[in-house]
C-alpha cells in the first residue's frame, strides 16, 4: 500500500546470502537504477475570471486548474489531463455536444517538483446550482504515473451559481418647464431658432403698436380727426393690411 508516499522516491537494496552468510550486497541510495519515484499531485480549481471557487452559469465558462506535481523525473515529458465531474451525480460533466469536458497540457519537467495549469472551457448555462470537481492524471509515454480524483476535495471544487438578473435601464422622462436646452442636446439648435423667431415676432408687433400709438397722439395734439380707410399699400414694416 503506497498511500501517503506520493512525491517520494523509493530505493531498492539487495543482498545475496548462502547458508546464512552474506556473500554479495548492493545498497546505494544514489543509484538511479535502483530508484523508483512515486509522483504526487495536488490541484486547485478556480474560476478563470476572478480566481475564486465560484463561476456564473453562462454559455462560456472557464475554469483553471493548477496542478502542482512532485517526484517527476527531470527532463522527461509528461501530459496532464483533467476531467470535470458533477459532484452531485459523480458523473462526468458534458458540453453542449454531449462530450465530456476535458483539458490537457504537455510539459517537460525542469525539476522534480513544479506546477502546470490546464483550463476547462465549456457551456455551463445548464449547470446553475451544481458543484463541479476537477480530476487530474499525469502520464508519461501513455502510462499514468499520478492521479488525483477526490469528489470531496474543496480545492478541486467550483460552484456554478445563477446568473444575476439583468437590471432594466431606467427611461428618463423629458420634463418641460421652460428649461433652456443644454449644450450637446439634440434639440438645442431647433429650440434656439424657434426662440429667435418668437423674439423677432414680438419685436415687430411691438414696433407696430408704438407706431400706431404715436400717430394717434400726434393727431390728438393737433385737434384733427382723421378717418382712415383701408390701407392701399403694404405696411412698410411688413405687418400686412391696415390697422388691426
pLDDT single digits (tens) 80-123: 999 999 999 999 999 878 899 999 999 999 998 999 999 999 99
Give residue 50's pLDDT.
93
The residues pairing with 118 across neighbouring beta strands, listed in sequence order, are: 65
User: What span, in angstroms and rounded, lies between the C-alpha atoms of 96 and 21?
Assistant: 69
| Residue 70: count of CB within 10 angstroms of its CB | 19
Q: Rounded to two decimals, what is the model's pTM?
A: 0.60
Task: Find out whether 239 and 207 touch, Cβ atoms under 8 Å.
Answer: no
Please tell me the distance from the alpha carbon of residue 84 to that of residue 87, in angstroms, as a whole number.
9
* pLDDT grade for 226, boundaries at 50, 70 and 90: very low
Closest C-alpha among 64, 70, 225, 204 to residue 134: 64
The x, y and z cell numbers of residue 79, run together, are: 501530459
Residue 64 has pLDDT above 50, yes or no: yes
Distance CA 191, CA 118 (A): 61
Three cell numbers written together for 75: 527532463
Higher pLDDT, residue 72 or 165? 72
The answer to whether residues 160 and 47 touch, using CB atoms and an 8 Å cutoff, is no
Amino acid at each position: 500500500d503506497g498511500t501517503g508516499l506520493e512525491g517520494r522516491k523509493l530505493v531498492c537494496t539487495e543482498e545475496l546470502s548462502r547458508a546464512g552468510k552474506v556473500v554479495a550486497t548492493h545498497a546505494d541510495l544514489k543509484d538511479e537504477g535502483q530508484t523508483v519515484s512515486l509522483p504526487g499531485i495536488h490541484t486547485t480549481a478556480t474560476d478563470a475570471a476572478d480566481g475564486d471557487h465560484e463561476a456564473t452559469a453562462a454559455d462560456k465558462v472557464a475554469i483553471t486548474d493548477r496542478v502542482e506535481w512532485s517526484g517527476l523525473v527531470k527532463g522527461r515529458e509528461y501530459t496532464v489531463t483533467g476531467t470535470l465531474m458533477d459532484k452531485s451525480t459523480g458523473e462526468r460533466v458534458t458540453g453542449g455536444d454531449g462530450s465530456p469536458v476535458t483539458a490537457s497540457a504537455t510539459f517537460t519537467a525542469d525539476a522534480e517538483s513544479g506546477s502546470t495549469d490546464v483550463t476547462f472551457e465549456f457551456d455551463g448555462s445548464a449547470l446553475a446550482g451544481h458543484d463541479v470537481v476537477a480530476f487530474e492524471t499525469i502520464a508519461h509515454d501513455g502510462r499514468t504515473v499520478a492521479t488525483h480524483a477526490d469528489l470531496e476535495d474543496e480545492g478541486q471544487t467550483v460552484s456554478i451559481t445563477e446568473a444575476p438578473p439583468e437590471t432594466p435601464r431606467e427611461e428618463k422622462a423629458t420634463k418641460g418647464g421652460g428649461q433652456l436646452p443644454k449644450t450637446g442636446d439634440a434639440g438645442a439648435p431647433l429650440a434656439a431658432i424657434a426662440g429667435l423667431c418668437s423674439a423677432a415676432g414680438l419685436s415687430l408687433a411691438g414696433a407696430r403698436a408704438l407706431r400706431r400709438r404715436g400717430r394717434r397722439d400726434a393727431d390728438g395734439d393737433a385737434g384733427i380727426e382723421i378717418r382712415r380707410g383701408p390701407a392701399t399699400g403694404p405696411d412698410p414694416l411688413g405687418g400686412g393690411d391696415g390697422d388691426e
